[in-house]
Structure 1
Amino acid sequence: MKAVGLIVEYNPFHNGHAYHLETSKEAAQADVVIAVMSGNFLQRGEPALVSKWYRTKMALLNGVDIVFELPYSFATQKAETFANGAVSILDAAGCDSLCFGSESGDISTFFQTIDFLEEQQRPFDENIKRFLKTGVSYPKALALSFQQLSDSEKFLDLAMPNNILGFQYIKAIKQQKSTVKPMTVPRKNADYHDEHFASETIASATSIRKAIFSTEDGKTGIDQFVPEPTKQLLKEYLQHYHVFHQWENYWGFLQFRLIHSSPNELREIYEVEEGLENRLLAAASEADSFQEFMQKIKSKRYTWTRLQRLCVHILTNAKKTEMNRNLEKASYLRLLGMTTKGKEYLNKRKKDFSLPLISKLSSFKEGEILLDVKAARVYSLGVPTHLKKEMIKQEFQQPPIFIK
């Protein structure tokens, strides 16, 4: 059985994701679609709209066959580390190919850019350091460094978010000496960060979430942008948990963590560096909301995304000693869900997997999975009190979701 891998967040699964899924499966001539999906906290440093279990259901009901969780220690990271973890999981699970969406849509430009930068590695790194000294963020310094080295149209635009991720996926494949074949398809209509609906049927997850949070009852007119299973599962989640997750749900807990921490304690948290602890403490005592807090700590040096990730690490008490243990490859495959076809693939191939397969958390209590447990406990703080135990219990006892 031929498998194509997708690296996703599905926050939530929408029509653009459905297009990517079908196009990828067709381009790879695959029998099975395997998704590596971020857990309850995401790469941009945000809580997922709904839990990973509901997003797994969305994926399976919309055409994915197997869903593995991308561990917290990779999911809440910069693009390079995020890519390392995701690619290592697809490789360990025997995927033949990885297909990602990009602004470029042309795989040859990715290889040409990587080859060019390998030849120009020293001046590229020197340029990055020089731009960082001017106070710009790392992603901005990377883009400026590349632009200074070459303005050729045959290379990637490394200022575009999906191009950056695709670039890092291919770098990870090369570094890990993986046999996974990278492929790309152009993103359709909506840009990654679009906050407004760009067409009649395709919208970014950002604009969909913005629409959902614009009204209290979640009735927002997003129906034309999401498949029916997504629509039903969002409705079900809101009815059961009475909430869609966003940062403001967690502001009180973050503020409490900050005002009860010393500068020395904060310096132990992953990504707290260069005196940021003092800026965080000052803002925490003054801000009345997460939005206000972020406005106070934002600077040209640090992107909003980077600061949000830092806040997630403070919430989960993820320390540098924990997060730095392994940033190259994942150490397990946590199975969140499968279809009948996915189960058939697992039965045929799992003996050849190069990482242990975990189908129930209670049977595996070591390594980086402990960070996933902490993340799940923190995520449960966002639901009403009487439902917290249920959500935490699910983390330990939920078997992989099975869709026939």
Structure 2
Amino acid sequence: MLATGIVVEYNPFHNGHLFHLNEAKRLTDADVIIAVMSGHFLQRGEPAIVDKWTRAHMALAGGADLVIELPYAFATAHAPQFARGAVQILDALQCEYICFGSEEGHIAPFVHSLDTMNTHKKLYEEKIKCSMQEGLSYPNALRIAYDEISRTTDEPLADLSEPNNILGFHYMQAIKEIRSNMMPVTLERKGTHYHDEALPEDSIASATGIRKELFATDVAHVQSFMPSSSYELLHQQPHQSWDHLYPFLRYMILREGPEQLASIADITEGIEFSLWRAAKEHATFQEFMKAVKSKRYTWTRIQRMLVHVLTGYQKSTRAQITSPSYLRLLGMSKNGRNYLRSVKKEVTLPVVSRAGSHKDPSLLMDIKSTDIYMCGMQREPGLDFKTPPILL
């Protein structure tokens, strides 16, 4: 059975995701689609709108065969670590292809970009360092460095100012670094831009726009942008946001104080003092974020810090987690179950269907993040121990 992997968040699963999933199957002639999906906290430093089992159910109803959780340590990391963790999981599951959506729509520019960056790696890294010393944010520093090395070639390069292109580039970089045999395939992103908040006239909207509409009005307004199965699941579940979690976050910041905050992952350069002052002064999440955001610290970068504050994710814990060490099964179809059986001897990481007495620091972080996420939903803790994989 030929397996193709995709990397997803499904926050929530919408028509654009359905198009991607179907095209991934068609373009690679896949028998099985394996989705590596972030858990309860996402790469942009946000809580998922609904829990990971609901989103896994959406994925299976949309045609995925296996849904594997991307561990917290990678799901909430910067793009290179996020991509590397996902690629390692798909490689462990013996995927022959990885298919990602991109603004570019063709693989060749990514190949040229990767070759150019490897050729001029020293220049690239020096330019990033200089830009950051001048006070620029990391994404802006990357963009300037990339523009610099782009002048060294006449080959068409991928536009790495676009969010899906950035992730696609890092997937391919990770494939090369771990020496995987997976073949990358890309398809052009359809519909609205990744960050677009307005809902379009056609049936494909961004997840950002769908979430904004959900919190501003109600779930009925997004029905036309989602498969009916996703809409029904979304309609049945309470919706999570930073507004719900901010009281817990504010308490954590004020209780810990700047000295303790400095030990949290991603908190650097004295920003702990800004977080502490903002928590003392602002009663809402939006006000807090506006007080902390600066030229150096983007909204996304700050949110990732705050997720780590909320979950107590220490720099020392992150140092222990260098690669995925298990495959957390969130859901599977009958086809997916047959695939797992067929490749059982070749799969290079243990499959975990339900959390038990594991001491793995990465799995412990997944369990803790679930419990904290559920606090904002006023639901019971321990669901990672109680909830079996979704079966369709």
Please give the TM-score of this superposition, normalised by the length of structure 2: 0.97
> Match of 2:312, as an amino acid?
N
Question: Unmatched 5+ residue regions in structure 2?
Answer: none
Q: CA deviation at 1:220?
A: 4.2
Cα gap change, 1:363/1:400 in structure 2, threshold over 3 Å: closer, same or farther? farther
Are the aligned partners of 2:44 and 2:76 in contact in 1 as well (CA < 8 Å)? yes
Correspondence for 1:395 among 362, 378, 384: 384
Q: Which residue of 1 aligns with 2:204?
A: 202
Q: Deviations over 1:251-292 (max 9, x none)?
A: 100110011113221111001110011111111100110111
Name the SS for the 1:300 alignment partner: coil
2:313 alignment counterpart: 318
Whole-angstrom CA distance in 2 between matches of 1:364 and 1:96 = 30
Give the whole-Å Cα distance in 1 for the aligned partners of 2:257 and 2:191.
Answer: 47
Cα shift at 1:189 = 1.7
Moved more, 150-159 or 312-321: 150-159
Does the residue aligned with 2:194 lie in a helix, a strand or coil? coil
The one-letter code sitting in structure 2 at the alignment partner of 1:55 is: R
Task: Specify which of 168, 190, 193 is matched with residue 191 of structure 1.
Answer: 193
Kept in 2: contact 1:41–1:47 (CA 8 A)? yes
Identical amino acids, percent of aligned pairs: 46
The aligned amino acid for 1:262 is G
Residues 21-66 of structure 1 show CA distances to partners (whole Å, capped at 9, x for unaligned) of 0111111110000000000000000000000000000000010000
The reply on whether 1:372 has 2:374 as its aligned counterpart is no
Give the structure-1-normalised TM-score: 0.95
Matched with 2:140 is 140
**What residue is the counterpart of 1:263 in the other structure?**
258
Aligned positions of 1:4-403 closer than 5 A: 4-151=4-151, 152=154, 154-215=156-217, 218-237=218-237, 243-327=238-322, 329-362=323-356, 364-384=358-378, 388-389=379-380, 392-403=381-392
What is the aligned partner in structure 2 of residue 240 from structure 1?
Answer: none
Provide the aligned length of Structure 1 versus Structure 2. Answer: 390
User: 1: distance between equivalents of 2:317 and 2:300?
Assistant: 21
Counterpart secondary structure, 1:156? coil
Counterpart Cα distance in 1 of 2:30 and 2:219: 37
Distance 1:269 1:100 in 2: 32
Structure 2 distance, partners of 1:235, 1:340, is 26
Partner Cα distance (1:122, 1:333) in 2: 36
CA spacing shift, 1:336–1:219, aligned 2, 3 Å? closer
* Contact 2:117-2:149 at 8 Å conserved across structures: no
Give, in angstroms, the shift of residue 235 of structure 1: 1.1
The separation in 1 between residues aligned to 2:12 and 2:132, in whole angstroms, is 34
Q: Which amino acid aligns with 2:282?
A: A
- Matched residue SS, 1:20: helix
Q: Which runs of 5+ in 1 are unaligned?
A: 238-242
